[in-house]
Amino acid sequence: MHSFFLTLRRWWAGFTLQTKLMAVLTIGISLVMSAITFWAVNDIQTDARLNDTRFGKDLGLLLAANVSHLVATDNRQELARVTKNFFESSSSIRYIFYANPQGEVYFGIPFDAVDEQTGLTLPRRLQLPENLLDSDQPFVRQHETPQGQVTDVFVPLREQDKAVGILAMGINPNPAVVVSSSLTMDVTTAVFVSIWAMVILGAASNAVTITRPIRELAAGVQNIAAGNFQQRIDLPFGGELGELIRSFNEMAERLARYEEQNIEELAAEKAKLETLVATIADGAILLDLELRVVLVNPAALNILGWQEAVGQNILNLLHPAVKEEIGRPLMEIATGERGGGEFRVTIQGEGESNRSLRFWINRVLSTSNTLKGIAITVQDITREVELNAAQSRFISNVSHELRTPLFNIKSFIETLYEYDDQLTPEQKHEFLETANRETDRLARLVNDVLDLSRLESGRKYRFDPTDINLVIDQTLRTYQLNARDKGITLIKETSPNLPKVWGNYDMLLQVMANLVGNALKFTPAGGKVYIRAYSWSEQNMNDPQRSVQRVRVEVEDTGIGIEPEHQKRIFDRFFRVENRVHTLEGTGLGLSIVRNIIEKHHSSVHLKSEVGVGTTFWFDLSVYQDKCDLSLPDVVEVDHQQV
C-alpha cells in the first residue's frame, strides 16, 4: 500500500501545473454537478412526496364522506359498489381497505371475490396509529415498495360523532416525477462525460502548446524573485502567449532600471535622514514593541548620559527616577492600553542642582493603523524649571508678605464697624461690608496662589489606594448647608461596590471642593448639582480581548453654562469670564488647581457645557490593582500631562 501511494505521488508530480489545475477543476465541477443533481432529484422527490400526501388526504376525506353512512348501516353491497367506482376512477389508487374500530379488515379492493356485491372478507388486521380514532384528521405515512414509494392514508370513519370504522387507502407515486428523476440523472451523466472529454482534449492541447512557455515563464519569474533582473525569455510564440512573453521581458527591463535608481535614492534619503536626526537639538529615540532601542540620535545620548543604546531594552538604560515615571506608561503604550503622553521628570543630583527632563512619547502606526513602535522625544528643561520655580517662589513670597497686612486691615475695619462715627449707620454698614468682602477675596487669592505654587514646586505627594466614595461623602457634608441656603439640591449618584483608585485623598478632596463650589456658585436657586462616580472599561488597542478598568467622576450642574469660545481657556490661571451672567466673585485659580492635581493622577479633566443648560466636569482615575507588572509610584514629585 505504501509503495502504491509513492507511485501515485510520483505520477502526480510529473504533471504540469496547468494539468493539475485542470484535473482539480474537473473534480470540482464534477462534485458541484453531483451536488446539483442530488439536490434536484431530492427536491423533485420531496415535492412528489408532498403532492402525494396532499392528494392522498383529499381522496381519503372525499371517500370517507361518501361511505361513512354505508359503514355505519353495514350496507356492504352499496359500499362495494361505491368503492369499486371510486377505485376505477383513478389510476393513482393502489388499494382501499375498510376495518372496524379494532383494526380488523373486513372489506378491500383489489380483491379476488367473484361476487362484487358482497365484497371480499380479508383475514387481516391493520397496524393503526395511536389515537387515530380520537382525531378527526387523517393520518398519512409513506413506505418503500419494489414498485416505488406508496403513500398510506388512514381516515377515521364517524357517524354522528361515533367511530364506526377506519378507511385505509394506498396512493401510487406520480409517474411523471419518476420519469423526471430518471431524466435528470441521464442529463447529469451526459454532462460528466462531456466534461471529462473536454479535460482530455485540453490536457493534450496543453502538452503540445502551453507546457514549454509556461515552464520558461516559471523559471524566469523565479530568477526575477531571486533578484536576477537580467533574465529574458526568447521563444517564437505568437498570440496571447507571445504577448505574455514580451510583457515579461519589458517588466524585467523596467525592474532592472528601477533597481538602479532605487538604490541611489535610498542611499541619498538615508544619508539625509541620518544627517537630519543627528542635527536635531532635542533627543530622539525610536523603540520597537519589545522596548528595544532601534534608533537614537547624539542629542539623546548626551542628555541621558548613554554611551551605546541600539539593540538594548530602554528600561535597562534609564535612570531610576525616569524609569519610575515613564516605565509603566511605556509598557501600557506597547501593549495598546493607552496612547502617548508628555512626562516631566526631576532627577535628584548629588552635590549639584537637580536636572529636569521632558519626555514626549508617541505611538508609531502603520498605514493600516496598527502599532509598529514607539517614538520618544527628550528635552533638558532644567533651565525652564528653574525659572518657573523662581517665579513660584516670588509669588509665594509676595503672597506671604501681603497676608499679614491684609488681615490687619480686615481686623481694623471690623473694629471700626462696631463704633459710631460721622457716617450714618447705612453708610458705615455698606462701606465696611464692601471692605470686608474685598478683603476676603484677596485672602482667597493669596490662598489659591499658595496652593498652585505648592503643586508646581515639585513637592512630594504620597499616593495610596483611595475610596472615592469617602471623598464624595466628605464634599457633600461640607457643602450641604451652603446648597440648602441657596435652594440647590445636591444629588449623589455612585455605582455600588466601586473599586479603590490610586490617588491622594487630600488632593482629590480639594478637586471635588473646587468643582462642587463652582457648581453651587453658578447655579441659580431651584437648580441641581449631581456628583457621579462609576467604573468603566477601556478596550485595549492592540489586544481586543483585554480591557483597562477606570473610575470616572463627574460633577454636573444645571447652571448658567460657559460659552464655547471661553471653554478652551477656562483652566488657565486667573482667567474669569466677565459678562452679565458671570458676576460672582472668584480668584480664577480654582480650575487651574483642579487641572494640576488631576494631571498628577496621570489623567486629564474634561468639560462639556451649554449656556443656559448647565456644565459637566469629569475625569478618570486608575483603579488600584494588587497585582501588576509595574506598580505606580507611592510618591509623585513630577508633573505629568496625558495627551
CA 249 to chain centre: 48
95 three-class SS: strand
Pair (526, 624) in one structural domain: yes
Same domain as 398, residue 490: no
Locate 514 and state its grid cell: 473646587
Cα Rg of the chain, angstroms: 47
The CATH number of whichever domain residue 537 belongs to comes to 3.30.565.10
Residues 604 and 505 in one domain: yes
Domain-located, residue 29? no
**Closest to 643 measured CA to CA, from 388, 360, 366:** 360
d(CA 119, CA 112): 9
Is the separation of the CB atoms in 189 and 171 below 8 Å? no
Question: Is residue 18, in this structure, part of any structural domain at all?
Answer: no
Specify the CATH number for the domain of residue 409.
1.10.287.130
Q: Rounded to whole angstroms, how far apart are CA atoms 300 and 284?
A: 6
The dihedral region occupied by 170, where left means phi > 0, alpha psi between -120 and 50, and beta the remainder, is beta
Pick from 2, 57, 289, 24: nearest CA to 171 = 57
Please spell the DSSP secondary structure of 478-526, one letter per residue: HHHHHHHHHT-EEEEEE-TTPPPEEE-HHHHHHHHHHHHHHHHHTS-TT
Q: Give the chain's count of helices (H) and strands (E).
A: 14, 21
Helix H or strand E encompassing 557? strand 547-557
Q: In this predicted structure, which of 402-411, 434-443, 520-529, 536-545 has the lowest mean pLDDT?
A: 402-411
Looking at the chain, the whole-number percentage of residues with pLDDT higher than 90 is 12
User: Rounded to the nearest 5 degrees, what angle is found at the Cα of 38, between the Cα atoms of 33 and 41?
Assistant: 120
DSSP symbols for 125-187: E--PPTTSTT-SS-EEEEEEETTEEEEEEEEEEESSS-EEEEEEEEEPPPHHHHHHHHHHHHH
Instruction: Tell me how far apart the alpha carbons of residues 469 and 446 are, in angstroms, rounded to a whole number.
Output: 30
Residues 417 and 518 both lie in one domain = no
| 8 Å CB contact between 593 and 452 | yes
pLDDT band of residue 224 (cuts 50, 70, 90) is confident
In a domain, 206, yes or no: no
Domain end, chosen from 401, 430, 456, is at: 456
Distance of CA 245 to the CA centre of its chain: 48
Q: Are residues 406 and 268 in the same domain?
A: no
Higher pLDDT, 268 or 93: 93
Chain segment 439-491, per-residue pLDDT in tens: 766 676 677 667 766 776 666 778 889 999 999 999 999 889 889 999 999 99
Lateral strand order in the sheet of 614-622:
489-494, 528-539, 547-557, 614-622, 605-610
Q: Which residues pair with 605 in a beta bridge?
A: 619
Last residue of a domain, one of 407, 439, 456: 456
470 and 594 Cβ atoms separated by less than 8 Å: no
Judge if 508 and 623 occupy the same domain: yes
Residue 477: left if φ>0, alpha if ψ -120 to 50, beta else—which one? alpha
Taking only the tens place, the pLDDT of each residue in 479-537 is: 898 899 999 999 999 998 899 999 998 889 989 988 998 999 899 999 999 999 999 88
Please indicate, yes or no, if residue 122 is contained in any of the structural domains. Answer: yes
First to last CA, the chain: 69
Whether 319 has a pLDDT exceeding 80, the answer reads: yes
Residues 504 and 603 in one domain: yes
The answer to whether residue 434 is domain-embedded is: yes
Mark whether 105 and 225 lie in a shared domain.
no
d(CA 86, CA 60): 11
Give the confidence band of 72 by pLDDT, cuts at 50, 70, 90.
confident
pTM for this entry: 0.38
Average of per-residue pLDDT across 602-620: 92
Q: Which of 124-128, 131-135, 199-203, 206-210 has the lowest mean pLDDT?
A: 206-210
CB 128 within 8 A of CB 154: yes
Q: Answer yes or no: do 114 and 162 share one domain.
A: yes
Q: How far is CA 111 from CA 87, 94, 117, in A?
A: 12, 12, 12
499-502-507-510 Cα dihedral, nearest 10 degrees: -20
Mean pLDDT over 369-398 rounds to: 77
Q: Which of 92-96, 422-426, 568-572 has the lowest mean pLDDT?
A: 422-426
DSSP string, 432-491: HHHHHHHHHHHHHHHHHHHHHHHHHTT--EE-EEE-HHHHHHHHHHHHHHHHHHHT-EEE
Task: Kindly state whether residue 30 falls inside one of the protein's structural domains.
Answer: no
Backbone angles phi, psi at 571, to 5 degrees: -95, 0
Residues 47 and 78 in one domain: yes
Are the C-beta atoms of residues 122 and 111 closer than 8 Å to each other?
Answer: yes
pLDDT at 456: 66
Q: Are residues 239 and 130 in the same domain?
A: no
In a domain, 28, yes or no: no
Residue 580: the pLDDT is 45
Number of domains in the chain: 5
Q: Where a domain ends, among 352, 380, 408?
A: 380
3-state secondary structure of 93: strand
CATH of the domain at 115: 3.30.450.20
Q: What is the pLDDT averaged over residues 234-256?
A: 72
pLDDT band at 17 (very low <50, low <70, confident <90, very high): low
Q: Is residue 529 part of a domain?
A: yes
Q: What integer pLDDT is reported at residue 614 of this predicted model?
A: 93
What count of residues does the chain have?
643
- Closest alpha carbon to 125 in 102, 148, 142: 102
At 617, the pLDDT band (50, 70, 90 cuts) reads: very high
Same domain, 248 and 224: yes
Q: Which residue spans within 278-368 are E strands per DSSP?
A: 283-287, 293-296, 341-347, 355-365
Mean pLDDT value across residues 240-255: 74
> Looking at the predicted structure, is the pLDDT value of residue 118 above 50?
no
Range of the domain at 536: 461-642
CA-based torsion, 430, 433, 439, 442: positive or negative: negative
